[in-house]
Structure 1
Amino acid sequence: MINKIIGYLNRPYPYYYGRWHKILLILATVALLSFLFSYFFEPFEVNRTEHKLDYFWICLLHALLPVGIAFVYFLVLDKTQGDTIKWTLGKEALHLSILLVLIGIGSFLIRDVIYDKPDNWSVRYFREEIKNTFLVGMLLLAVLLPLNLERLFKKYQTGARQLNVNRLRRATNERVVTIETSVPSENFRLNISDFLFAKVYGNYVEIYWKEGNEVMKKLVRLSLKDLREQLTTFGSIFQSHRSFLIQTDNVKAVSGNAQGYLLSFEDCTLKVPVSRSKIAEFNTVFTSNK
């Protein structure tokens, strides 16, 4: 049972925190809904004699506080996060749980601004604010995260199956190009028909290609952007992810998970991701004729 839970938490999950326009839109929507719900429905017991502020401003403060805390937390998370491909359901749940605790602490710290009570700084209220915020938030997360995981998994698995069935197989003409690196003496020649994919590796790029039945790789001082620009004349070259550039003609099979697609190449154990924002474009390139 424990192994099944661990396995479930280790399933790939989308990393949302690099798209700030969407994050800000979501946070603003949550704040607005939270304010309207609290102000018009008064879901919690309200003793206005204890209030230092008008109830309108209290509702607004409670709606904006989580947004501010979440914005700072997501900003720090995005700046410190490494490989987002390894983001899982467990990591998502962990960070959102930490965020709920921080929001609970923030709600406790503003009690003295809102309520005229001598025991605002008591341990009882400290525990109460954290417990209430955490329990309500986790109840929602326990429902929404698995539902979103299964929705995306089914969506991309279905799309991957259709691609494998409908793909028009193509033969890539051999064409050798010289790849220019930041160090001229390290320039090298690459046969496009053998090229599989390139992967960002720190300040370098790791290039993978086939030689017979073997997969070769080479680490070069070059950015992925520079490599893409040097191969831009080839319609089968596609940037599937911010860290990967692929040769679509050499993709053997496509599978899917909640993060998007995973691409397999012949004789290669490493699978290459296609990010969700690239799916539609990849579908067109992958199924088109030369």
Structure 2
Amino acid sequence: MLSFLRQPYPIDEPKLTRVILQSLLVGIFVAFVLIVFQPFGSYNWQHAYKILILMGYGAVASFTTFLNFFALPKLTPLFYLEKYWTVWKEITWNLMPCVIGGFLSVVYGYLIGAMPFTFTQISYMIVVVFLVGLFPAIILVLLNYVYLIRKYRAVNQYPEKITTTEDKPAITETTIELMAENEKDRLKLPASQLVYIEASDNYCTVFHLTNQKLTKTLIRSSLSRLESQLSIPEIARCHRSYIVNFRRVKHISGNAQGYKLHLDATNFVVPVARTYSYLLKEQLVAS
């Protein structure tokens, strides 16, 4: 069980419009449940503005969802790195709104005079909200994990269709030139010698072959800028942080995070973002 919880799991970069919609839906759902079913003793609670107060808890749920799924990843991006993301982290992340929401619900209830702001009350609300969200959070993550595993491991069902490096026709022997932002530092090399490019902050590391040995060259530039300087179809972006020479791919594997490209010149495995999955058929699957 512990080994399963440590399995890699994908994490999406938070998109403002999607998180806002998600937050609104969560808030509407919570308000609907509280107003219609009035659980947790609220049925016996009487107040002139009861409906509006219960709707306020929906607003708390919306704010909590936005805080957890947009604000926190933006404020602490180093914690939300996909290469370190696992099943247990995804489950924990999905349960965090229960803890935050339980606390903020007590704050809201105290401000409107509906409940005391005490350790006992805070603990009670956190436990109640946590137990309500525990089962759905685990089930949804597990179902999505199974779906993604089946989807991305399906690539291993047609290895005979993947053209190996030896079988591929030679890449057009064009010289490519990568220019830094200062337009003075530049790297010239045959296209066939480029292996992949990795972005990191304001720099890119170009991995290429020199006398059949893997060499690294650091260039101050964004990945998008270098991408615009490449006009060879076999060399393409496959991830927000990587450009790869598809003629150097010798094998493809997959896990829940997506496809992985194994290259012939290095043991490093280049990830393929889900938005670039179509490149596998275009670049690697024989017609």
TM-score higher than 0.5 here?
yes
User: Match of 2:245?
Assistant: 247
CA offsets 1:172-226 (integer angstroms, 9 cap, x no match)? 1222122222345532212111211100122211111234653222112222111
User: Match of 1:21?
Assistant: 17
Whole-angstrom distance in 2 between the partners of 1:113 and 1:202? 43
Q: Aligned match of 1:135 in 109, 131, 134?
A: 131
* Counterparts of residues 39-188 of structure 1 (less than 5 Å): 39-51=35-47, 53-55=49-51, 57-73=52-68, 74-82=70-78, 83-113=81-111, 116=114, 120-158=116-154, 160-162=155-157, 164-168=159-163, 170-171=168-169, 172-188=171-187
Q: Secondary structure at the match of 1:51?
A: coil
Residue 246 of structure 1, CA deviation: 1.0
CA offsets 1:6-53 (integer angstroms, 9 cap, x no match)? x32332212134223222222222222333333333344334444352
Whole-angstrom distance in 1 between the partners of 2:114 and 2:208? 70
Whole-angstrom distance in 2 between the partners of 1:167 and 1:137? 43
Whole-angstrom distance in 2 between the partners of 1:280 and 1:218? 29
CA offsets 1:94-143 (integer angstroms, 9 cap, x no match)? 333333211110111122355656xx233332211111011222222222
Partners of 2:14 and 2:73 within 8 A in 1: no
Whole-angstrom distance in 1 between the partners of 2:168 and 2:245? 12
Whole-angstrom distance in 2 between the partners of 1:247 and 1:260? 18
Q: Secondary structure at the match of 1:151?
A: helix
Partners of 1:51 and 1:115 within 8 A in 2: no
Q: Secondary structure at the match of 1:92?
A: helix
Consecutive unaligned residues of structure 1, counting only runs of 5 or more, are none
AA at the equivalent of 2:55: L
User: Match of 1:206?
Assistant: 205
Whole-angstrom distance in 1 between the partners of 2:59 and 2:255? 34
Q: How many residue pairs were aligned?
A: 280
Pair 25,258 (structure 1): closer, same or farther in 2 beyond 3 Å? farther
Pair 126,284 (structure 1): closer, same or farther in 2 beyond 3 Å? same
Q: Secondary structure at the match of 2:221?
A: coil
Consecutive unaligned residues of structure 2, counting only runs of 5 or more, are none
Partners of 1:163 and 1:254 within 8 A in 2: no
Alpha-carbon RMSD across the aligned residues, in angstroms, is 2.4
Partners of 1:238 and 1:247 within 8 A in 2: yes
Whole-angstrom distance in 2 between the partners of 1:166 and 1:37? 52
Pair 163,114 (structure 1): closer, same or farther in 2 beyond 3 Å? farther
> Equivalent pairs: percent with the same residue?
23
User: Match of 1:35?
Assistant: 31
Partners of 1:52 and 1:113 within 8 A in 2: no
Pair 43,21 (structure 1): closer, same or farther in 2 beyond 3 Å? same
Whole-angstrom distance in 2 between the partners of 1:88 and 1:116? 39
**TM-score, normalization by structure 1:** 0.85
User: Match of 1:194?
Assistant: 193
